[in-house]
Structure 1
Amino acid sequence: MSHVPQIKIPASYIRGGTSKGVFFRLQDLPPAAQVPGAARDALLMRVIGSPDPYGKQIDGMGGATSSTSKTVILSRSSRADHDVDYLFGQVAIDSAFVDWSGNCGNLSAAVGPFAISNGLVDPDRVPLNGVCTVRIWQANISKTIIAHVTITDGQVQETGDFELDGVTFPAAEVQLEFLDPADEGEGDGGGSMFPTGNLVDDLDVPGVGTFKVTMINAGIPAIFLNAEAIGYTGAELQDAINSDPQALARFETIRAHGAVRMGLIKHVDEAAKRQHTPKVAFVAAPRDYISSSGKQVAAGDVDLLVRAMSMGKLHHAMMGTAAVAIGTAAAIPGTLVNLAAGGGERSAVRFGHPSGTLRVGAEARLIDGEWSVTKAIMSRSARVLMEGWVRVPGDAF
């Protein structure tokens, strides 16, 4: 019996924000995987260890959560005024597919540092000491992200004293600007960040109920509900929801019907093949709670509470792209997010999530009756955990 040897592919395993992923340079991938298609998807799934009916991803680099089943492909950008093209693949854990429908805001924090360290940014643009501004083209959603990366003695500075709730150790701060974060959208809004044209809609979910929702395309397509409308306080931690199969099924049903209403899919059955987007989140006014690390979060520390679902489970902190959606919606008077924060005009909010708090800002303007957001701003951190090669069987793709 013949055996196919493993092949080695240069890669880095990096934490970005509250996520981890395997990063590749496009040029380092096998030729068949340098273009979109079945070979690329099969390779990335084998790297991560999916599909895994055990749900553990033991035979791969994945960590069996939505936050750790991620891949990134980077290349020098051919676009004017950009340094690097960034493509994100969310790998399903127990199913055989890679979702390319959205961005990962957390891993966005690692794109600039990786690009600098791996020769994807013109060396003339990297100072010996100071801040390097990396212009990123986010290829999944055709948007620009600006990363501000600290450089010390010509190298990316990874250590520092910036603390991010949901990450155990401090690191160097990476400031991110998500330019023009509103998606064009495919819904009835005809290009509006609100695909139905409304700040608040009634979403009818057969068998579940009718809910007030804010549906927005900014950072990532997102559906916001009021926590009390679905029987929660907004202060829940992961186990309260992830250990409840009925709750998970209810959220997935809401997500599927919301995706149809947003024009992202035509039928609820298609939602199973689009797990990464849209996100479902619920909001509430501030209240005291204990975070997953045991840290006390006081009502006075935050403007509102937000809990978000990712790939069918409650996220342990907050997805970066969902934070962009939160900041954007909070800046627009009348959305459920804005109302939960107390209403009125605001350029930034600090919200409570299961691991602690996060501040995000957004610049919103009303132009000819349509809301426009020029950018959303937040800080994350990133650190290389391992670099070298990943190995996969030669016949895996």
Structure 2
Amino acid sequence: MAHVSQIRVPATYMRGGTSKGVFFKLSDLPEAAQVPGEARDRLLMRVIGSPDPYQKQIDGMGGATSSTSKTVILSKSESAEHDVDYLFGQVSIDKPFVDWSGNCGNLSAAVGPFAISNGLIDPSRIPENGEVEVRIWQANIGKTIVSRVPISGGEVQETGDFELDGVTFPAAEVPVAFKDPADGEGAIFPTGNLVDDLEVPAEVVPGGTLKATMINAGIPTVFVNAADIGYTGTELQEAINGDPQALAMFEAIRAHGAVRMGLIADVSEAAARQHTPKVAFVAPPADYLSSSGKQVTSGEVDLVVRALSMGKLHHAMMGTAAVAIASAAAIEGTLVNLAAGGGKRNAVTFGHPSGSLGVGAEASLVDGRWVIDQAVMSRSARVLMEGWVRIPGDSF
């Protein structure tokens, strides 16, 4: 009986922020997977271990959560204004598709370090000690990200004393700036409103309408008030992810929000677009015990936020959703801004299930439309493993 041999593909397994993913240089992929299409998607799914009806991804590199079912493809930029082109693929855990509709803000912090260590940045720009500014073209949404990567001894510095809630061990700080973070060419508020009455099925939400801020910054996100859906905003994962009725409610909100934001034409299309939009709920500051046992007090945060990713409550906060939170908080009158106490602000600290996070954003009104100049936050990144991933030769 003939057997198909495995092939090996150069790859690096990296943590960026509170996510993990498999990183590839475009030129290292098999020729058929160097262009968008079925071959590329099938290869990435097999690497991660999807689709997996057991939802464990045992036969792949994925970790069976939205935060760990991720892939990144990098290449030298085709643009003179950028150093590297960054393409992100969110791999579905139990369904056969890769979602290319948005960015991963957390893994954005690992792009610069990978680019430097893998020859995508001119060696003459790398000092013995200091930092390198890496200009990244985020190909999914067509936006610029600027990362400042620390260098020690001529190499990327990965260890340090920067602590990030949701990550167990400290590491080197990597500041990341998201320039003009509105997703693609769309308006920051696709409906034209800071707050909308979002219609949802009455059997999902009593009354059939919810106040919602639908913003397109960092990643398209639907924000609702926690109190309007029976929550406090201090919930941890088990309170949501163990409740099928709650998950169905959030998916219905997400699907109807996607239609209102113009991302899909009908709610039936939402199942094939899991990565975007995100749905999140907000509330004023409150005391709670984080998932690690750390006490978060109302005095140290401006508001509390919980967000869902790929159908489950996130264990911390998606980096792109953090950009959306900061952007909405900077604009007076949004639900996020009101939960934070209202008024003009250019930074916000919010509580999430693993602790808290501070993000800055500058908003301005230009010709009647809101513009976010940039959103800035600090993350960290580290190589976990490098070498090759192996997959059966007939996987793609």
TM-score where L is the length of structure 1: 0.98
**Structure 1 residue 367 displacement after superposition:** 1.7
Q: Deviations over 1:124-172 (max 9, x none)?
A: 2211110100000000000000000000011000000000000000000
Letter aligned with residue 103 of structure 2: N
Letter aligned with residue 226 of structure 1: N
Any conservation in 1 of the 2:332–2:343 contact (CA below 8 Å)? yes
Partner of residue 348, structure 2:
349
Which aligned pairs between 1:16-31 and structure 2 lie closer than 5 A?
16-31=16-31
Partner of residue 295, structure 1:
294
Partner of residue 396, structure 1:
395
Task: Give the distance between the partners of 1:121 and 1:359, measured in 2 at CA.
Answer: 29
Any conservation in 1 of the 2:101–2:276 contact (CA below 8 Å)? yes
Partner of residue 127, structure 1:
127
1:132 counterpart SS class: strand
Partner of residue 157, structure 1:
157
Task: Give the distance between the partners of 1:197 and 1:64, measured in 2 at CA.
Answer: 37
Deviates more, 1:288-297 or 1:359-368: 359-368
Task: Give the distance between the partners of 1:183 and 1:198, measured in 2 at CA.
Answer: 17
Unaligned runs of 5+ in 2: none
Partner of residue 228, structure 1:
227
Partner of residue 197, structure 1:
192
**Structure 1 residue 368 displacement after superposition:** 2.1
Partner of residue 145, structure 1:
145
Task: Give the distance between the partners of 2:248 and 2:259, measured in 1 at CA.
Answer: 17
Any conservation in 2 of the 1:25–1:75 contact (CA below 8 Å)? yes
Q: Deviations over 1:279-314 (max 9, x none)?
A: 000000001000000000000010000000000000
Task: Give the distance between the partners of 2:166 and 2:330, measured in 1 at CA.
Answer: 24
Any conservation in 2 of the 1:265–1:271 contact (CA below 8 Å)? yes
Task: Give the distance between the partners of 1:372 and 1:393, measured in 2 at CA.
Answer: 47
Task: Give the distance between the partners of 2:41 and 2:316, measured in 1 at CA.
Answer: 27
Alignment of 1:115 onto 2:115: yes
Letter aligned with residue 344 of structure 2: E
Task: Give the distance between the partners of 1:56 and 1:184, measured in 2 at CA.
Answer: 33
**Structure 1 residue 384 displacement after superposition:** 0.3
Partner of residue 307, structure 2:
308
2:68 counterpart SS class: coil
TM-score where L is the length of structure 2: 0.98
Letter aligned with residue 281 of structure 2: F
**Structure 1 residue 369 displacement after superposition:** 1.8
Which aligned pairs between 1:361-376 and structure 2 lie closer than 5 A?
361-376=360-375
Task: Give the distance between the partners of 1:124 and 1:254, measured in 2 at CA.
Answer: 50
Task: Give the distance between the partners of 2:374 and 2:162, measured in 1 at CA.
Answer: 22
**Structure 1 residue 249 displacement after superposition:** 0.5
**Structure 1 residue 192 displacement after superposition:** 2.1
Letter aligned with residue 394 of structure 1: G
Q: Cα–Cα, structure 1 residues 295 and 270, in superposed 2: closer, same or farther, change >3 Å?
A: same
Any conservation in 2 of the 1:184–1:193 contact (CA below 8 Å)? no
Q: Deviations over 1:88-131 (max 9, x none)?
A: 00000000000000000000000000000000011122111101
Task: Give the distance between the partners of 1:138 and 1:355, measured in 2 at CA.
Answer: 27
1:166 counterpart SS class: coil
Runs of 4+ in structure 1 over 6 Å off: none
Partner of residue 36, structure 2:
36
Letter aligned with residue 197 of structure 2: D
1:67 counterpart SS class: helix
Any conservation in 1 of the 2:142–2:184 contact (CA below 8 Å)? no
Task: Give the distance between the partners of 1:80 and 1:194, measured in 2 at CA.
Answer: 31
Task: Give the distance between the partners of 1:222 and 1:79, measured in 2 at CA.
Answer: 29
Letter aligned with residue 318 of structure 2: M
Deviates more, 1:237-246 or 1:125-134: 125-134
**Structure 1 residue 183 displacement after superposition:** 2.6
Task: Give the distance between the partners of 1:294 and 1:129, measured in 2 at CA.
Answer: 37
**Structure 1 residue 366 displacement after superposition:** 1.3
Task: Give the distance between the partners of 1:337 and 1:167, measured in 2 at CA.
Answer: 25
Task: Give the distance between the partners of 2:247 and 2:275, measured in 1 at CA.
Answer: 15
Task: Give the distance between the partners of 1:227 and 1:63, measured in 2 at CA.
Answer: 29
Partner of residue 100, structure 2:
100
Task: Give the distance between the partners of 1:151 and 1:315, measured in 2 at CA.
Answer: 31
Q: How many residues matched?
A: 392
Alignment of 1:3 onto 2:3: yes
Q: Deviations over 1:195-217 (max 9, x none)?
A: 00000000010132210000000
2:67 counterpart SS class: coil
**Structure 1 residue 80 displacement after superposition:** 1.5
Q: CA RMSD in A?
A: 0.7
**Structure 1 residue 370 displacement after superposition:** 1.4
Partner of residue 325, structure 1:
324
Task: Give the distance between the partners of 2:83 and 2:40, measured in 1 at CA.
Answer: 23
Letter aligned with residue 143 of structure 2: K
Partner of residue 188, structure 1:
none
Percent identity, aligned pairs only, is 78
Task: Give the distance between the partners of 1:120 and 1:88, measured in 2 at CA.
Answer: 17
Any conservation in 2 of the 1:219–1:324 contact (CA below 8 Å)? yes
Any conservation in 1 of the 2:194–2:334 contact (CA below 8 Å)? yes
Which aligned pairs between 1:26-105 and structure 2 lie closer than 5 A?
26-105=26-105
Task: Give the distance between the partners of 1:101 and 1:370, measured in 2 at CA.
Answer: 24
**Structure 1 residue 184 displacement after superposition:** 4.7
